[in-house]
Each structure stands twice: as structure tokens, then as C-alpha cells.
Structure 1
Amino acid sequence: MYQPAITGHGVFTPSQSISNDELVVAFNAYADRWNAAHQAEIDAGEAEAIGHSSSEFIFNASGIERRYVMNKSGVLDPDRMHPQLPARADDTPGIMAEMGVDAANKALEMAGLSGGDIDLVICAASNHERAYPAIAIEIQNLLGAGGFAFDMNVACSSATFGIQAAADMVRSGSVRRALVICPEICSGHLEWRDRDCHFIFGDVATAVVIQRDEEATGPHFTIQATSCATKFSNNIRNNHGFLRNAHDQMEDRRDMQFMQNGRRVFKEVLPMVSTHILTHLADTGWEASDLRRLWLHQANKTMNDFIGKKVLGRVPEEGEQPNILQDYANTSSAGSIIAFSQNSEDMQPGDRGVICSFGAGYSVGSVLVERA
């Protein structure tokens, strides 16, 4: 048995970003146009007028100030309100592969490795641009990696589930070096015309290298334990899939994009996550007081503040529970890895932390790491 370790990590950040103010201008213009076009139905009580959004509403509801996207102009066009991403030829890299390779190369450079050193690639994301061939195999090919590759989808928990799968294979010796890549193009499955959720998501890609601790050539984090759990719920759902075009009547269904019952999610997920982390710590022989840092899924600042307080038994101190929501928004599975990547260099040998993600499913995954 081998000790798995995270030896490299990287983040691809799109060049385009949308501030709350910019998003609100576009959304309110769309709302005004829709209300004007449906004034008769609104007056007759057959339809509800769409209310305006505001930057204050967005920040108070989420803690988000801006988000990165792969296409800004399409999202901000009141007549379109979704990204404009032209179809690519089959012999050119897909958009998820392009994003993933950028993050992977940064992680490989940190680990002192090249693509040819990798023998497992997992593409773990909440949505994939196609059913097959696997995005992971495309990334494997572009990197010149060996071994094998596969896609994984556990929604916002995909990263931690992917890390557990890779760490288990490194630990057993079935693979030597792995990449877990999370290319999240969340702008493509968000309903930007829905006031309740139009501000939630952004685009990004992350990557982590996992290999044997004994082969690490620089500072790294040993993976001391992993734990994953799922419990079925419809409170976060996206019905888009390969059956979408099987029936014409499905084309205009609102549930073909991101849907969420936010209040029920808040009520049901938070106890699940905090209990999961505390149980995982106890099973590993760790105490909450052992943790120097919590790198949590970046969905909502209020949710993270609640979880941090429950796990630590007190309000987290400055830096103990870093948030990147204000800059990146919710990036699904990538959020906890961005937080880890941007807030781990100051950790000293022996310092401990937990990477935790949670979301649709319901799903929750935690990774206990120690600075080597």
C-alpha cells in the first residue's frame, strides 16, 4: 500500500468576467421587455410580472460580487441571456478539454511532472458537453498521458469523489500518478432569466495531481482519509440530457436547466455536511481543533459560515475558512479546489485541513489532508 498525496494543483480562470452591476442591467432589461410583451396576461392575472434584480439582492443572498465566464456578450444580451459558444469541429479540442488542459498543465508544473508521467485522468464535473467519447479521454490524448481515463459526475461533489477514486487507486498501486480535472462551464446550464438564480454560477477549471508521497519532489499534502456519501433528493436538479430532443414538447421546459429549492437545500444539506465532516474526523482519530483550514464548496457564504461554525464549535477566525465566492461565484465541483489552491501555500508541515464539497444528489465528499 502506498501513501497518496496531492503534489500539484492548478486553476484555469476565463479572461472574461461579469460584475453584479453588469448582470443586473442585462437582467432588468430582459424583465422589462418580457413584461411589456406579456402586459395583457399580467393585467388579466394570467401571468406574473418579472421583478427587477439588484446588486444588493445578489450580494445579500449569496456573497457573490462577480463571476468569470467563457462568453460574456451572450449572457449580457437581453434578447439572448445565455453564452454564445459556437459548435466546434470534431477534430478540434472541445471547450471543456481546452479549459481542463490549461488547469492540468499548471498542476503538472507544480508537481514537476509532464503529461506523459500520468497514468490516470478523471474528468469530474457537474455537466459534460457530450455523452461520449469521454472528455477525460480527450484530455488524456491532448496531454500525452498514458493509462486510462474516464468521466465522473456527482454534481458539485465531483471533485472530492474524483479525489477519493484516484487516491484509492494510487494507494492500492493500480495507478502511479493521477490527474483529477474539473472543467466547469456552469454558464451553459444556468437559467440567466430566472431572478432567483440568475447570479449563481461562473465558469472555471481546476486540476490536482495525486501520486505516491514517496515520489513527491516538492511541498505537498498527504491524503490521510477520504469519505463520500449520497442521499437522493430532487431539490437540486437539471433534466437536460441526451433525451432532450426526443420529444418536441420538452424544448421549452424550465427544468431543462438548473433548478433549486433553495430553502429546502439549506435546511437539509447543512446538517448533512457538518455531521459528515465531524464523523469523518472522529473516524480518522482527528479533532476539529486539529484543523487549521476548511476548504469548503463555494455555493453560498451563509451556508459556509454555518458549516464552519458547526464543525469548529465556534465562529471561524480570519483565514480558517477561505471564501472565493465573491470573485468566482459558484463554480460547482471546482469551488473547494479553487479555495484550496489559493489558500494553502502558507500551511506548515503538520498542518491539517479538510477539503469538502456538497451539492445535488444530495452528495457530500470530504478529503482530510496534512502538509508534508
Structure 2
Amino acid sequence: MKNVVISGSGLFIPPYSVSNQELVESYNSYVDLHNQLNSAQIDKQEVEPLAYSSSEFIEKASGIKNRYVMVKEGILDPNIMMPLIADQASEEVSMQASMGIAAAKDALVQAQVNAEDIDLVIVACAYTQRAYPAIAIEIQQALGTKGFAYDMLVACSSATFAIVNAINAIEGGSANRVLVINPELTSPQSNFKDRDSHFIFGDVATALVLERRELAQSEHAFNILSTRCVTQYSNNIRSNFGFVNRCDPEKANTADKLFHQQGRKVFKELLPMIYQHLDEQFNDEQIKPQEFKRLWLHQANINMNMFVVKKLLGDDVDALTAPVVLDEFANTASAGSIIAFHQFNHDFKTGDLGLLCSFGAGYSIGSIVLEKC
């Protein structure tokens, strides 16, 4: 057992929602425009016609029904198909920082901790909207936390990897309390012109307070019993967006600069890794999967999650054992498992076990065994 607890969690939900049907209508209008514009080449079989999307296709493929976004304007316009986010002055609080601040305040209240008692802020997410100064340092300034702050990126495992960093900081003596924040602003990196991925992502922010066990006052606290992280390089989930894109103007805005994946390869390669990773952790900790009251899994795809759950627990599993939030929030990158934890831990009693687990691009897998204090 670690001498560290998670004492509070927080959630910020953006102001706008986008349903599958709204996305489908927009995408199909784009398909009509594209196919009309390229009709001559399509007739000559020089260009492949684009196929329609549908709500039924999206829900069957992913389990997603809805998502939230910070800016809705532009996303549903078939001539734009991206959020129209205005450039901000350097003196303004950035969009990602504002999201993170809201989630952090929620977590601090639940943890019964004041901002000035925080020694370290870690912002961990799939993308940050700028390189420097760090979003975490901006949040540190806004909240009035002490010590230091930094950003880190490990795609969909950013949150769990940041929890491990927070534990190490506390156990190593460089912090007593750490605020881990996941401001997932994913909609600008979504390719709304791609049938296979236009529905996948949503925006959200989550936050956790971690502290030394002897300092914790919150009734919501969870002991951290075990952590494990692993990475293995793969191009099957990728975004080539970066600061060097401008150096090749002709390719600066090509589709590969947005999220893209080879979904079937991800299924085939990542799922065995997840099971092996968890099996080894459970064996080392002498824990049986059936001992867990709840599995708070990464919220990317309901079919992936059901595979993991059935592999661990068999076919007869109650829905609450592995709660799904992606139907409402879509894939929120590293925040998904934290949303599930935040919304589905209030029925825990002292000694109950839960598993927080993320997996995604990298490949990366992070898993944390929790016990209710």
C-alpha cells in the first residue's frame, strides 16, 4: 500500500452538446458536396465516392450517442467542420486552463483542501494548446497553489501516468498534496470529415487531489494500493500535429495532422496487452478480478471495454461493475476513466476495491488499484 490517497475528484462539463444525429446530418451534407464536386473523377473511377454515416453505425461501432464541446460553432457547418475558436490574447486565461480550473475547484471542495495547500499541479492530457508557458503553471497562478507545476502528455493514459507521478512526488518528499488535472480539449483535433472518426471525441476536464494519507480529511478518500504503467510504440493511433508543421507549408494542414487510427489493428494488438498487463498486476498483488467492486475503464469504445470485462470477469457481469460514460461524453481521452470514477464511487464502503485503468495511443496502459478508506 502507498502512503498516498485520492481524496477528491472534480468534473467540468462544457456548455454545448452535439448529438450523433447532428453530426451525421452535417457529415452527410459534406459527403454530398464532396461527391458532387468530384463527380467527373468519380465517374472515371479516379476518386472514390464518400459514403454516408448514420447514428446506427456510430452507436454500434462505439457505443457513443453524444458529446460535449467548448465551441459548437463551425463543427456542423459542412463548409467548415471544425470548432471556430477565436485566438486569445496572451493576457487572457486560456481555454484549457479555464476548463482545468473549474474541474480543480470541484476536486478541492470534495477533498476539503485549500488551493494554497497544494504543492504541485500536473496538467496531463492528450494535447495542450500551446507549448509554453505550461498550462499547469497558468492554473497554478490562477488558483494560488504553491510549489511547482508542469504539463505532461501520454495520450489517453495521461491521467493514470500523472497519478503515478503524483504518488512518486509525495513519496519522494517533493510534495505533500498534488492536483492532477486533465483538460481534454479534443474537438480541435477531431477530423469531422472522416467517417471512421468524426464521432469519436468530446471535450471535458477532470481533476484529482492526491495527498499523504495522514493529511486526508475527506470522507471520499481512497487508498492507493498498487500502480502499473507500460508503453509500447505503435503508429496505429497517431496525430502528426506539431510546431514543425509550418516548415512544410504544402502539408501543414493535411489530414494526418488530426487524429487518425487503424482501428482493427488497435483492437487486435492492444486488447491482449491490456489483459496481460492487468493479469500480471493482479498476480503480483494477489488480487482476484472478482474482488473488485468496480472497474473504471478508459472510455473509448464500448466493444473494447466489454471485451476486457468479459475476459476478466466472464459473461455474467452487472452493468454497474464497469460503468459506461462514453454514451454521454464520447471519448474524452485521458479523462474518461476519471469521469467514471467521479460519478460511480459514492456507494463504496471501507475496504471495497476498485480498478482505475486507461489504455490508448502510444501504446500506453496505466492501471491503479484503489481501496475505499
Instruction: Give me the TM-score of the superposition, normalised by structure 1.
Output: 0.98
Q: Deviations over 1:96-129 (max 9, x none)?
A: 0000000000000001112111010000000110
Match of 2:322 in 1: 321
Matched-pair contact (CA < 8 Å) for 1:96–1:184:
yes
Match of 1:371 in 2: 372
Indicate whether 1:77 and 2:77 are aligned: yes
Match of 1:135 in 2: 135
Indicate whether 1:337 and 2:334 are aligned: no
1:226, 1:150 → 2: CA distance? 21
Aligned positions, number = 372
Match of 2:354 in 1: 353
Match of 1:291 in 2: 292
Indicate whether 1:86 and 2:86 are aligned: yes
Match of 2:206 in 1: 206
Q: Specify the SS of the correspondent of 1:108.
A: helix
- Deviation, structure 1 residue 312: 2.1
- Deviation, structure 1 residue 285: 2.2
| 1:337 alignment partner AA | I
- Deviation, structure 1 residue 241: 0.4
| 2:239 alignment partner AA | N
| 1:271 alignment partner AA | P
Matched-pair contact (CA < 8 Å) for 1:228–1:365:
yes
- Deviation, structure 1 residue 252: 3.9
Indicate whether 1:312 and 2:283 are aligned: no
- Deviation, structure 1 residue 2: 6.6
Q: Specify the SS of the correspondent of 1:139.
A: helix
Mark the runs of 5 or more structure 1 residues left unpaired by the alignment: none
Matched-pair contact (CA < 8 Å) for 1:26–1:78:
yes
- Deviation, structure 1 residue 257: 0.4
Aligned pairs for 1:209-228 within 5 A? 209-219=209-219, 220-228=221-229
Matched-pair contact (CA < 8 Å) for 2:2–2:225:
no
- Extract structure 1 runs of 4+ deviating beyond 3 A: none
1:77, 1:187 → 2: CA distance? 14
1:283 and 1:2, CA in 2 relative to 1: closer, same or farther beyond 3 A? closer
| 2:152 alignment partner AA | M
Match of 1:234 in 2: 235
- Deviation, structure 1 residue 15: 1.2
Match of 1:170 in 2: 170
Q: Specify the SS of the correspondent of 2:18.
A: strand
Match of 2:103 in 1: 103
- Deviation, structure 1 residue 49: 1.0
Q: Deviations over 1:299-319 (max 9, x none)?
A: 000000000111224442231
2:24, 2:275 → 1: CA distance? 34
Q: How high is the sequence identity, in percent, across the aligned residues? A: 49
| 1:82 alignment partner AA | M
Match of 2:146 in 1: 146
1:249, 1:325 → 2: CA distance? 36
1:108, 1:92 → 2: CA distance? 23
1:277, 1:267 → 2: CA distance? 17
Q: Deviations over 1:151-196 (max 9, x none)?
A: 1100000000000000121123221000110000110101010001
1:111, 1:175 → 2: CA distance? 16
Mark the runs of 5 or more structure 2 residues left unpaired by the alignment: none
Aligned pairs for 1:235-254 within 5 A? 235-254=236-255
Q: Specify the SS of the correspondent of 1:225.
A: strand
* Cα RMSD, aligned residues only: 1.1
